[in-house]
């Protein structure tokens, strides 16, 4: 294990600090806007601009990386992100904050691309799965740890913006002092959208649903917790525990998806999201511990939709299509994450209650489950036996470079879809 961690310790430390800052900012901004009296729907639009910025940045940020290299690009993107965060503290206009969120999305996707392409280039194919697993664990722990900085100072003050800026500045240090050589940035192919949708409709739907749920989660849950009267200390605990629940549940869900029909597994996950969404509403009337446990279950399920959807798509594509297919699924995720906060906030406004967020999550998940089961029953989709399916990999929607870090791309080099083996490092 030390051979996987020690060579990348500087990058892992940078990732931890980066995700702590990004995760804290994603929670604090909706909370701050709610305390300032901004409408839930406006908060949804502001948050959506961040994910839209990530969509745009994914198409163009690689040009800067190819031009000046990974280290200089990382420093530039981190400096820009820090500047955008500090500007939040100088202005209180929702319009300006929305513009800043868009540009923060542009620079943040650049940071993800630098780190993930670096890990991909410097890790051997035989260890890439373990490198990615450690990277995902660091990401989740960084995001969950950053939530507790919400307890510093009052929500209306600007201390938290300073903490976020500090974390983002510090994440530059491990990268710029590393002695590692600059890796080459790989080429990203353009996917054939219509071919991807026809080939993997369930994977496409699942990736879009994951964006709808995850984007809405980060934007609206802080608003929901504030509206039901939770203090900032409890909000930090809820967000942290929910994010970690998303990490922990990936392994048992992955084990099941490797042994049974992934279409059914994805359908049952959608049903579980709908049921746990209703459970959360009930648990808010009970003791805090019951609410916390229900949120852990809810987060565990919504954060497994995307990796199971990607694994399902990988069951169907040949080696040449793996990277373009994954790029397309990431685009679907980002589009869903852009729409999710708007749809969730609109549902809350239409229903006139904070619980409208979980009504939204339950509805879109239940509808997706119905579509998935219908496609499976009518056999409108390709049915892949469990023993011939690809391997589940813990992952989250970050950047196109994470696709190349995915060890499944290497697994197909000398194998067809019907001759897939599970490398020992990926067994769950």
3-class secondary structure for 248-278?
A: HCHHHHHHHHHHCCHHHHHHHHHHHHHHHHH
Helix, strand, coil distribution of the chain in percent, nearest 5: 80, 0, 20
- What are the angstrom distances between the C-alpha of 266 and each of 243, 340, 408? 20, 19, 19
Q: Tokens for 294, please give them.
A: 């229900």
Question: How big is the CA angle at 21 (ends 341 and 210), to the nearest 5 degrees?
Answer: 35
The answer to whether 188 touches 287, Cβ cutoff 8 Å, is no
Handedness of CA 222, 228, 229, 234 (dihedral sign): negative
**333 falls in which pLDDT band (50, 70, 90)?**
confident
DSSP designation for 378: T
- Roughly how many angstroms between the first and final C-alpha of the chain, as a whole number? 16
pLDDT value of residue 424:
39
Most confident by average pLDDT, 130-144, 250-264, 344-358: 344-358
Mean pLDDT of the chain: 81
> CA-CA distance, 77 to 55, in Å (whole number)?
16
For residues 208-236, b (16+ Cβ closer than 10 Å) or e, as one string? bbbbbbbbbbbbbbbbbbbbeebebeebb
Neighbours of 345 (CB within 10 A): 28
The answer to whether 30 touches 47, Cβ cutoff 8 Å, is yes
What percentage of the chain has pLDDT greater than the value 70?
79
Burial of 374 (C-beta count, 10 Å sphere; 0-12/13-18/19+): exposed
Rounded to an integer, the average pLDDT of 283-311 is 88
Domains with residue ranges and CATH for the chain: 2-177+192-413 (1.20.1250.20)
**Pick the residue with more confidence: 25 or 9?**
25
Rounded to an integer, the average pLDDT of 268-297 is 91
The answer to whether 135 touches 405, Cβ cutoff 8 Å, is yes
> CA-CA distance, 235 to 241, in Å (whole number)?
10
**419 falls in which pLDDT band (50, 70, 90)?**
very low
Closest CA to 381 of 276, 264, 278: 264
The answer to whether 335 touches 210, Cβ cutoff 8 Å, is no
């Amino acid at each position: 294990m030390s051979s996987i961690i020690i060579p990348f310790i500087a990058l892992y430390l940078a990732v931890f600090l980066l995700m702590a800052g990004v995760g804290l900012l994603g929670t604090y901004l909706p909370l701050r806007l709610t305390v300032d009296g901004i409408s839930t729907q406006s908060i949804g639009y502001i948050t959506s601009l961040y994910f839209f910025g990530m969509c745009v940045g994914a198409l163009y940020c690689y040009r800067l990386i190819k031009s000046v290299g990974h280290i200089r690009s990382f420093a530039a993107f981190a400096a820009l992100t820090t500047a955008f965060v500090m500007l939040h503290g100088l202005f209180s206009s929702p319009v300006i904050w929305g513009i800043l969120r868009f540009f923060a999305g542009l620079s943040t996707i650049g940071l993800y691309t630098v780190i993930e392409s670096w890990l991909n280039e410097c890790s051997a194919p035989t260890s890439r799965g373990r490198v990615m697993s450690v990277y995902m664990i660091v990401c989740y722990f960084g995001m969950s740890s950053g939530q507790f900085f919400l307890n510093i100072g009052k929500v209306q003050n600007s201390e938290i913006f300073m903490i976020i800026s500090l974390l983002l500045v510090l994440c530059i240090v491990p990268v710029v002092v590393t002695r590692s050589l600059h890796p080459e940035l790989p080429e990203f192919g353009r996917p054939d959208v219509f071919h991807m949708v026809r080939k993997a409709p369930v994977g496409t739907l699942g990736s879009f649903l994951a964006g709808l749920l995850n984007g809405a989660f980060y934007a609206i849950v802080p608003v929901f917790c504030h509206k039901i009267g939770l203090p900032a200390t409890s909000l930090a605990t809820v967000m942290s525990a929910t994010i970690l629940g998303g990490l922990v549940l990936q392994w048992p869900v992955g084990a099941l998806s490797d042994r049974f029909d992934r279409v059914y597994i994805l359908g049952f996950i959608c049903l579980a999201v709908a049921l746990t969404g209703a459970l959360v509403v009930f648990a808010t009337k009970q003791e805090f511990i019951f609410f916390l446990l229900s949120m852990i279950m809810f987060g565990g399920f919504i954060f497994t939709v995307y990796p199971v959807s990607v694994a399902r798509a990988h069951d169907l594509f040949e080696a040449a299509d793996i990277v373009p297919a994954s790029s397309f699924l990431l685009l679907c995720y980002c589009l869903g994450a852009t729409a999710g906060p708007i749809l969730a906030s609109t549902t809350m406004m239409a229903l006139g209650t904070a619980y409208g967020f979980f009504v939204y999550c339950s509805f879109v998940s239940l509808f997706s489950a119905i579509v998935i089961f219908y496609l499976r029953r009518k056999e409108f989709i390709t049915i892949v036996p469990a023993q011939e399916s690809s391997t589940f990999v813990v992952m989250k929607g970050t950047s196109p470079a994470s696709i190349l870090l995915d060890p499944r791309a290497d697994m197909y080099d000398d194998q067809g879809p019907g001759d897939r083996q599970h490398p020992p490092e990926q067994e769950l």
